[in-house]
Amino acid sequence: MDLKSLSQGQIYSIVTDSSHSLHPGNDAPIRSFEIIRDGLSESVNTWRGSEFTVSDDLTDAAVIAPQPLLIITNAEHDRLASMLEQTDEDGNITPRSLPINWDEIVTLINQWRTDAEQQENPDGI
């Protein structure tokens, strides 16, 4: 799958806590969670789209936009979300309380992508 062929509304990005999305209607992150990356715990957010700034003033063009840690599809976001929270019988959502290893997230999403490609092209052609 070529993520560049998807519109900004069809993708999510996982970014560091200090980033702000430039996608219309993104006033707050869709999801926030803790990861462990390079041995350090840090907060990350998921936002719709892949264009960001680190400035609270979204009109400040002088600020260099950060790159997302990872860009994922809507389906990948939904699968990841189910790992990051629980929904009880009453529909109450409880976020994961322990950080998740970033390398494990990347490995898992890469495996999902490999599986999806194999399903689309079972003969390897």
Confidence of residue 95 (pLDDT cuts 50, 70, 90): confident
> What are the φ/ψ torsions at residue 109 (nearest 5 degrees)?
-65, -40
Every domain of the chain and the residues it spans: 3-120
Quick one: pLDDT at residue 62? 47
Residue 49: CA count within 13 A, CB half-sphere: 14
How would you classify residue 25: left for phi > 0, otherwise alpha for psi between -120 and 50, otherwise beta?
left
* Terminal-to-terminal C-alpha distance of the chain: 15
CA torsion, ordered 97, 13, 48, 60, to nearest 10 deg = 110
Closest to 63 measured CA to CA, from 15, 13, 22: 22
Quick one: pLDDT at residue 50? 77
Average pLDDT of the residues of the chain: 80
Task: Convert the pLDDT of each residue in 57-87 to its tens digit.
Answer: 555 554 556 678 898 988 899 888 888 888 8
Task: Convert the pLDDT of each residue in 48-65 to its tens digit.
Answer: 877 776 655 555 554 556
The model carries a pTM of: 0.73
In residues, how long is the chain? 125
Please state whether beta strands 11-16 and 70-73 pair in parallel, antiparallel, or not at all (unpaired): antiparallel
Question: What pairs with residue 85 in β-bridges?
Answer: 95
Quick one: pLDDT at residue 46? 87
Q: Return the structure tokens found at 40.
A: 């350090």
Confidence of residue 123 (pLDDT cuts 50, 70, 90): confident
